[in-house]
Amino acid sequence: MKPLAAARPALLPAGPTAPALPGLSRLPLVLSACLAEEASRRTGFLWHPFAYGTGILAYFSLPAEPSLWAAPVLALLLAVLAGLAGGGRRWIALLALMASLGMAVAGFRTALVAAPVLARAQMAEVQGHIETIEFTPQRSRILLRVHKVEGLAATETPYRVKIGLPGQLALPTGSAVSLRASLAPPAGAALPGGFDFRREAFFRGIGAIGYAIGPVRPWAEAPPPPALLAWLGRLDEARNLLTRRIAGIIEGPAGAVAAALVTGKRGLIPDEANDALRLSGLYHIVSISGLHMVLAAGVLFWTIRAGLALSTRLALRWPIRKLAALGAMLGATAYCLFAGSEVATIRSLVMTLVMLGAILLDRPALAMRNLALSALLVLTFQPEALLGPSFQMSYAAVAALIAAQGLWRPARPEPEGGTGRAGGWTRRILGAFAGIVVTTIVASLATAPFAAYHFYRVNPFGLIGNALGIPLVSLVVMPAAVAGSLLYPFGLDEPIWQLMGHGIRAVMAVAGWVAGFDKASLPAPLIRHSQFGALVLAMAVLILPASRLRLLAVAPFTFWLASLVMPARPDLIVHENGRILLARGEGGAYRVLAFGPSPDFVLGQWLPALGDARPPKAPDLKHGVRCDRLGCTLRLADGRWLAFPQRPEALREDCARADILVTPLENRICPSGRVPVDGRTLRQRGTLWLWAEADGSWRLEGTRAARHHRPWQRLAEAESRPKAGAGPETGPTNRKSGPAPDQPGEESGNGEPPAFLPELSSGEPG
């Protein structure tokens, strides 16, 4: 084979030779050296979870449910190919194998958890056992393991339902109850490309949400609950007892936050405290996940090891480091069980157990390979967790911290000798504090893109809030939480909770101070999946390699920057329930037309995703909106009149007056060109964004594609919605004579469900 230099003259046209680019001839040598370094450090394994997750994402992106055996057969073929290949081709085949395994695992998980989902809203008598109770200052929420729903066959009965109750429920967790409730299917995504709450409910076995009508009665004829359900009920009741004790000792919002840190029960936290924590970037401290598990396990590990080291005989004859790791593993597992074993908590437990298990095997605990192994384990048992913000933010933060530690350790200066004992302690304390601040900054920067993608907001001063608040959590709050939990069974916990309360109040003071900054929270317009994927790829290429291959992150990062162009904002946004509509009124600003329960939760997602900084309760959101009990009207930015009829008689009347109609009813009256959205469209496409085209047509984008058919979406085709001409007669309504701009909207007040229903139907991601 001829060398490259000898082959070049035959490939180039005659004439003077072009000068070579500086350093270009060294590129193959540099690339070979980098690949050799990656191979020597065995970083190729770190890409296996990335490929595994890519397969899971491919499964959830499919328009229809694939055959259950297609991915396993493909994985078998790729396994054979990987065994026959060698070198780089084998590594590529292994990545393809991991992707196919990810698809297979996601398919089997979907088939395993599949359970009936309520097909349409209805009122019915519900009987079952209370699985968990969440208390709030004014109401309660129960998760009911269903035994029977009136009017539904066993094959149509949801496995679990989530029901809101007025006041405080007196019955304990695990009780068999019977109640009459208004039930509805779980809500879907609030906007196209947003988090799908219906899918989240599907994988948690929740087939309906609703609210109780009348009292909750003990069910005397109930069969005995399964042993596991009875045990979980007693555990949840113990969590509620400890929650009340902590909140009673530490009064006010600090007590509610302290209880949430220990038991995972967040219902008692008032809205003002929640808002301050969110605006300051500190809300993650009340969601028991990676931070809490690591701190709890770390406190236990240090305490056990320090206690064993007090005995010279134990320190010299026993592996106290391994004993401390084993004790921390048991304590972390108990903490996970007591905190409710939520998805985020279980994921954090697995990650922590892998890290501590590495100590038992005499391996480095904080290593990227351990993190990759824990990600594979979590995604194998809960592949749907990959789609949620909790998994993404936790693993991004830990991966960034491990990578930063690898960069910092070689560059860290050696301490100078001769400073004395006092100087040594001072240096250690300052070093520990500086370490907490630096890790907080690294973790905050790593998780900020994920927060913007999922929650449509960025907190520019979150670094300040975390840098000041997390040291208090690490050094005061969490050690007190561990000590108080250990002393609680002996009744010696009260002074510890009081100490924890002082730490929480200091954290809340930091949160309130940062939340008071101007522009403490800014809207982050919706990031498309392709943009987010490019950013995640750039972060992975920056973090995972051990060589200068990190520089390749410039390519996807440049693509991400180039794609950050705010797309044209939609002219209309219609919620899938047909009761909330956002439209661009005169002046181009959005106006809200809404019926029924408060739309604040939905607007809290829509407005930031559209780049609108107004809060959901802003008065000018109803400027120019005119409503009565039958519908609403609004003059649009282009001068046309929009009608939003909710009853058949309003549809007939508005058809003769308005230029555009949007309705949850099935349109059988008006010309289809004037009704871009009706009940049939909402059933097929879910929540919709609409753009008006120059030719008078409309371009639609929904939360469901027209032909998507997945297990968590099938219920949409069977949902019952009002039909034109099928509603009850309402009698005289004194409907206003015509559209009139600049009139404030009126509340419907027509016997709608309680205001807590949106909270139940929407849920929280992750």
The amino acid sitting at 132 is T
233 touches 173 (CB < 8 A): yes
Which helix H or strand E contains 145, and what residues bound it? Answer: strand 139-149
Integer CA distances (angstroms), 564 to 145, 167, 506, in order = 45, 47, 38
- Burial class of 406 by CB neighbour count within 10 A (0 to 12, 13 to 18, 19+): middle
Pairing of strands 641-645, 660-661: parallel
pLDDT > 90: percent of the chain: 34
In terms of domains, do 221 and 334 share one? no
Residue 230 covered by a domain: no
Residue 232 covered by a domain: no
Going by C-beta distance under 8 Å and a sequence separation of 6 or more, which residues neighbour residue 72? 100, 104
In terms of domains, do 581 and 552 share one? no
What is the C-alpha separation between 522 and 532, in angstroms, rounded? 19
pLDDT at 379 over 90: yes
In terms of domains, do 654 and 668 share one? yes
- The dihedral through the CA atoms of 583, 586, 590, 596 has a sign that is negative
Residue-wise pLDDT tens digits, 574-597: 998 899 999 998 888 999 999 887
Report pTM. Answer: 0.82
Residue 738, pLDDT score: 40
527 touches 452 (CB < 8 A): yes
In terms of domains, do 541 and 512 share one? no
573 touches 690 (CB < 8 A): yes
Residue 412, pLDDT score: 54
Question: Which of the pair, 256 or 14, is modelled with greater confidence?
Answer: 256
Residue 752, pLDDT score: 38
Residue 750, pLDDT score: 33
Going by C-beta distance under 8 Å and a sequence separation of 6 or more, which residues neighbour residue 491? none
* Residue with the two structure tokens 């100590």: 359
E strand spans, 602-656: 626-627, 631-635, 641-645
3-state secondary structure of 250: coil
The amino acid sitting at 259 is A
Report residue 690: phi and psi, to 5°: -130, 135
Please give the torsion angle defined by the CA atoms of residues 117, 121, 125 and 128, in that order, rounded to the nearest 10 degrees.
30
In terms of domains, do 99 and 195 share one? no
Residue 413, pLDDT score: 54
pLDDT at 716 over 50: no
Residue 566, pLDDT score: 65
In terms of domains, do 434 and 478 share one? yes
Residue 5, pLDDT score: 43
Residue-wise pLDDT tens digits, 675-703: 999 999 998 888 999 998 888 889 999 88
Pairing of strands 122-135, 176-184: antiparallel
In terms of domains, do 218 and 151 share one? yes
Residue 210 covered by a domain: yes
pLDDT at 14 over 80: no
Which helix H or strand E contains 571, and what residues bound it? Answer: none
Residue 25, pLDDT score: 67
Residue-wise pLDDT tens digits, 61-83: 888 889 999 999 999 999 999 98
What is the C-alpha separation between 732 and 739, in angstroms, rounded? 19
Residue-wise pLDDT tens digits, 266-293: 888 998 999 999 989 888 888 776 667 7
Percent composition of the chain: helix, strand, coil (DSSP 3-state, to 5) = 55, 15, 35
Question: Running DSSP on this structure, what letter comes out for residue 708?
Answer: -
- The dihedral through the CA atoms of 495, 501, 503, 505 has a sign that is negative
Question: Which of the pair, 88 or 453, is modelled with greater confidence?
Answer: 453
Question: Which of the pair, 726 or 143, is modelled with greater confidence?
Answer: 143
527-544 core/surface letters (b: 16 or more CB in 10 A; e: else): beeebbbbbbbbbbbbbb
In terms of domains, do 451 and 302 share one? yes
CATH code of 207's domain: 2.40.50
In terms of domains, do 130 and 276 share one? no
Number of domains making up the chain:
5
In terms of domains, do 126 and 215 share one? yes
Average pLDDT, the chain: 82
Residue 149, pLDDT score: 94
What is the C-alpha separation between 337 and 326, in angstroms, rounded? 17
The amino acid sitting at 189 is A
Residue of 447, 405, 395 lying closest to 290 (CA atoms) = 395
759 touches 163 (CB < 8 A): no
Of the listed ranges 116-125, 374-383, 443-452, 501-510, the one predicted with least confidence:
443-452
Residues spanned by the domain of 363 = 241-408+429-523
Pairing of strands 457-458, 522-523: antiparallel
In terms of domains, do 508 and 598 share one? no
What is the C-alpha separation between 103 and 380, in angstroms, rounded? 10
Gap between the terminal Cα atoms of the chain:
58
38 touches 44 (CB < 8 A): yes
pLDDT at 136 over 70: yes
In terms of domains, do 275 and 401 share one? yes
